[in-house]
Amino acid sequence: MTPLAVEASGAVNIGISATGTGTAPITDFVVIRGDIDETSAAWVETTGTWTIPPTADYVIIIRRFDRYPEATDDGEVVYQGTGETFDETVTGENIEKIYYTAWTYGGGLWSCPIYYLLEVKPKMVNAIMLIAFIILALVPTIGAFALKSGRQILGFVAAGAWLLLGIWSYTQSTATWDINYALFWLSMGMVIACSLVAVILKEKKEEEAEEATEDWGDDQELMDDLKTDEQDRERLDRLFGRRKRKKHPRMSSFAKTGKEKRTR
């Protein structure tokens, strides 16, 4: 038998069937993962439920690991009968997805097929991916609010990280308002918050840049005025500045009086 992996991360019912002219198909078709072998991933339990229409004589469900079965003999028969549930233990390893196709038979005619995809992943892989996404989102978010520089870029990075976490959580959701669905909406809220913070910081940075430019312009004007005044003063000093008086040598007392000064 083809190998199977560890844990269903969440069944995804694509809910689209081909058109047909036979009896009505089953409705509300869901397959969920049960217990698994955590040690060797040698088996996984699955449970399927659906609603069979009153016009159907019986339902048949076929599964494959590589694609959706295209006929009732195109894969393993999971269930055939008139009930509305099945329990199956699938054995193997390293399978990531299980594809189901269901038909009903009634009045000599087959219904159109109903498809269902069960994604199978190890629990440890899911836990590691969740922790990695959360760290990837929290680190730039904290930086955008706590740091003094680079906050705008970190805000956009945080928004992108929360968006990735939200998309991943949505793909893991199996029901309305389960923990993954709630995490999806929380992530979308953080995307909006971080984007707003980044935009506000960008506008604030632009305003500060404009104010700095205006202040620099005023300072430059003042410097130009002071430089002009200094040049004017130098020009006036050259034109009307006082001439320096020449110092004459001091006359001796003999030259002034004709008498020699006696010293005691």
Alpha-carbon distance 87 to 234, whole Å?
A: 103
Over residues 138-158, mean pLDDT = 82
* Class for the domain spanning 8-121: mainly beta
Comparison of pLDDT for 214 and 48, the residue scoring more: 48
CA distances, 219 to each of 216, 229, 232 (Å): 5, 15, 20
| Angle, alpha carbons 102-125-136 (nearest 5°) | 120
**CA-based torsion, 110, 111, 112, 113: positive or negative:** negative
For the beta carbon of residue 113, count every other beta carbon within 10 angstroms: 21
Three-state DSSP at 81 gives strand
Comparison of pLDDT for 53 and 220, the residue scoring more: 53
- 261: which DSSP letter? P
Longest dimension (CA), the chain: 162
pLDDT digits (tens, 9 = 90+) for 63-87: 998 899 999 999 999 999 999 999 9
Per-residue pLDDT band for 21 (boundaries 50, 70, 90) equals: low
In the chain, % of residues over pLDDT 90? 25
For the beta carbon of residue 15, count every other beta carbon within 10 angstroms: 11
Q: Quick check: pTM over 0.75?
A: no
Over residues 45-51, mean pLDDT = 90
Alpha-carbon distance 169 to 185, whole Å?
A: 9
Q: What are phi and psi of 236, to 5 degrees?
A: -65, -40
Helices (H) and strands (E) in the chain, counts: 4, 9
Run of H or E including 205: helix 179-240
Closest residue by Cα to residue 23 from 82, 86, 87, 94: 82
Joined tokens for residue 143: 């930086």
β-sheet bridge partners, residue 104 = 59
What is the domain partition of the chain in residue ranges? 8-121, 124-209
Q: Taking phi first (over 0 means left), then psi (-120 to 50 degrees means alpha), and beta for anything else, what does residue 239 get?
A: alpha
Is the pLDDT reported for residue 221 higher than 70? Answer: no
Is the pLDDT reported for residue 109 higher than 70? Answer: yes
| Residues whose CB falls within 8 Å of the CB of residue 47, separated by 6 or more in sequence, listed in order | 31, 32, 34, 85, 86, 87, 88
